[in-house]
Chains A and B, each alone.
Chain A
Amino acid sequence: MAAPRSFLWTRRIFLTLLTAFVVLPVYVMISSSLKPLEDVSGKFEWIPSGLTLRPYVDIWETVPLADYFVNSIVVAGAATVFSVIVAIFAAYAVSRYSFRGKRAFTVTVLSTQMFPGILFLLPLFLIYVNIGNATGIALFGSREGLILTYLTFSLPFSIWMLTGYFDSIPRELDEAAKVDGCGPIKALFRVIIPAATPGIVAVAIYAFMTAWGEVLFASVMTNDTTRTLAVGLQGYATQNDVYWNQVMAASLVVSVPVVVGFLLLQRYLVAGLTAGAVK
């Protein structure tokens, strides 16, 4: 297709500006993380004059970043695993069975997506405290409580997307498995899950990123030992000073694993969206 010049120039200009917009904060993050404190406290410099790796050493000392890191990995990782498992079961039921209350279920689950987090923050806090008082299971302030909370955040979208994905897998496949003597659960594991891997990976990415990036519940529902990165990064601002170079270094350190993981797996996300959410 021979595109006219007007199209090519519009595209060139648009993409250049957009690239600059996208890259600017990334550049600021990287360059500032390599500057000494005097430099980030003064006027911004496009080209750093004195490069140093010092902030990358100091970030671990100023706040217990390693502990926050572990907390975030445990919480986001566990929330992802459980959320994906629960979503697979639910989506399988919705996609493959007709039963009473199916519509009510999907509507309810999807509508939880629109609840303002602020509406159930305080009630949930009280429920966790009460469960803790009644049973001794510490949900408030613990990693478990946060895992439990986060795993439901991605659930509605995951169920919705996986249902769409499962619908796109021909029923002949699981019927054939049933003819071969598989029960419904065996058919799910033998046929549906392998065929839906891109969709499942997409949902897992989404669940992980939701948990890794959440701030509101993390700031209310954690204590000194269970604090996640979302809250921990605020520790670089003291009463008198903000260690901006360390903030940037720490931001970069906590971002690299997720960004790299995401970019490696992003083709699954597009594939998952294509078959699932976008029909």
Chain B
Amino acid sequence: MTETVITPPSERTARKAAPGEAPAPRRSGRRRIALPYLLLLPALLLELLVHLVPMLMGITMSFRELTQFYIRNWSEAPWSGLDNFSVAIDFDAPVGQALLKSFLTTCLFTVLSVGLCWLLGTSAAIFLQENFRGRGFLRTLFLVPYALPVYAAVITWAFMFQRDNGIINHVLHDQLGIGDSPAFWLIGDNSFWALLIVSVWKGWPFAFLTVMAGLQNIPRDMYEAAALDGAGVWKQIRHITLPSLRSVNQVLVLVLFLWTFNDFNTPFVLFGKAAPEAADLISLHIYQSSFQTWNFGTGSAMSVLLLLFLLLVTGVYLLLTTRGRKTSDA
């Protein structure tokens, strides 16, 4: 369409008249071909240096016996074939067992966190769609958790979860009288829930922001038409708002999934270098097992397995959602 706007009419008719003819020579043709590559070059070089080459290195490291003796000259570390991988997935031995447990914990954690973030974000965005007093204020307020630096926010939560001087136990135990003695939150089984609360608190505003942006693309007259047909607010949300958010949600859920599954910052700031077993998310687990035991080969193998899992999930997810979209479009 843009082509028709800029091509002079004479040239257009000429082209139509002789379709088999070679196109008119372009002005500085070679430069035009080189230009997009030149524009991409900085991004490409940076991605190569910081992401792609290190990733390939990480993959080769996973096939080597990379202990602290070889770390300075990693390329001289002896090949060990698939040994690192068999250690990582030997679920009868301690290393594999711990990895499997951490993986399952991360899966459960991610499902709960992404689900809650999505639910809170979508509900808030829908409830703030109509104008009422205080709407602008709430919109701004709800973005505060997103804007706060991770470490500042998570450190505050760590303080709130302190057993003796934190606000959580003060309210639960001292004021509401729950439990015989104040609970531990940052060690033991409760740590899973503590981590989940912090993760949801930090993550839901992103869902809110994205859904809010998506809502702006829904034409107003769809609601008006539905209202004329006698559909109430709840019906409009169910039959107009939620279906219209479909494509937004597909991207949102995928992004939230990847961020949550790979999240290192939240557990690291909340618990320090070693997370309690109940909240041992996979990123921190790999970090800890690599740097604590100085066995980077096994650590790399674990990272590669993690990457394969993420690729698989993302691939299946994209396949399912795009196929769904195609059929719904037809």
Contact flag A19-B141 (CB < 8 Å), given A14-B123, A254-B149: yes
**From A109, A175, A244, A279, contact of B159 by CB (8 A):** A244
- Nearest-neighbor residue (CB-CB) of A109 within chain B: B47
Q: Is B265 an interface residue (CB 8 A)?
A: yes
Q: Is A52 an interface residue (CB 8 A)?
A: no
Q: Is B174 an interface residue (CB 8 A)?
A: yes
Which of B155, B282, B283 has the most chain A CB within a 10 Å cutoff? B155
Q: Is A179 an interface residue (CB 8 A)?
A: yes
**Chain A residues with Cβ under 8 A from B40's Cβ?**
89-90, 93-94, 105
**From A85, A86, A116, A258, contact of B147 by CB (8 A):** A258
Decide: A108 and B47 in contact? CB cutoff 8 A.
yes
**From A93, A127, A155, A244, contact of B53 by CB (8 A):** A127
Decide: A259 and B170 in contact? CB cutoff 8 A.
no
Q: Is A269 an interface residue (CB 8 A)?
A: yes
Decide: B251 and A278 in contact? CB cutoff 8 A.
yes
Q: How far is the CA of A178 from the CA of B26 in the complex (A)?
A: 14
**Chain B residues with Cβ under 8 A from A152's Cβ?**
46-47, 49-51
Contact flag A263-B233 (CB < 8 Å), given A24-B167, A116-B262: no
Interface residues of A in 223-276 (CB under 8 A from B): 229-230, 233, 244, 247-248, 251-252, 254-255, 258-259, 262-263, 266, 269-270, 273-274
Q: Is A28 an interface residue (CB 8 A)?
A: yes
CB distance from B284 to the nearest CB of A (A): 8
**Chain A residues with Cβ under 8 A from B164's Cβ?**
43
Q: Is B39 an interface residue (CB 8 A)?
A: yes
Q: How far is the CA of A122 from the CA of B290 in the complex (A)?
A: 9
- Nearest-neighbor residue (CB-CB) of A18 within chain B: B124
- Nearest-neighbor residue (CB-CB) of A247 within chain B: B155
Q: How far is the CA of A42 from the CA of B166 in the complex (A)?
A: 9
Decide: A117 and B152 in contact? CB cutoff 8 A.
no
**From B39, B50, B155, B227, contact of A233 by CB (8 A):** B155
CB distance from B53 to the nearest CB of A (A): 7
**Chain B residues with Cβ under 8 A from A179's Cβ?**
6
Decide: A114 and B314 in contact? CB cutoff 8 A.
yes
**Chain A residues with Cβ under 8 A from B210's Cβ?**
273, 277-278
Decide: A126 and B74 in contact? CB cutoff 8 A.
yes
**From B124, B160, B234, B283, contact of A7 by CB (8 A):** B234
Contact flag A44-B167 (CB < 8 Å), given A23-B141, A116-B310: yes
Contact flag A28-B300 (CB < 8 Å), given A43-B170, A119-B58, A151-B46: no
Interface residues of B in 111-129 (CB under 8 A from A): 120, 123-124, 127-128
Decide: B5 and A175 in contact? CB cutoff 8 A.
yes
CB distance from B295 to the nearest CB of A (A): 11
Decide: A114 and B311 in contact? CB cutoff 8 A.
yes
Q: Is B209 an interface residue (CB 8 A)?
A: yes
Interface residues of A in 96-140 (CB under 8 A from B): 97, 99, 102, 105, 108-109, 111-124, 126-127
Decide: B156 and A251 in contact? CB cutoff 8 A.
yes
B residues adjacent to A (C-beta < 8 A): 2, 5-6, 32-33, 35-37, 39-40, 42-44, 46-47, 49-55, 57-58, 61, 71, 74, 120, 123-124, 127-128, 130, 138, 140-153, 155-157, 159-160, 162, 164-167, 169-170, 174, 201, 209-210, 212-214, 216-217, 223, 227, 232-234, 247-248, 251, 258, 262, 264-265, 268-269, 282-283, 286-287, 290, 296, 299-300, 303-304, 306-307, 310-311, 314
**Between-chain CB contacts (< 8 Å), 8 pairs:** A25-B157, A43-B174, A87-B43, A93-B40, A109-B43, A172-B6, A215-B151, A273-B213
Given contacts A18-B124, A120-B50, A230-B150, 5 further A-B pairs with CB under 8 A are A116-B286, A148-B50, A171-B2, A247-B159, A263-B144
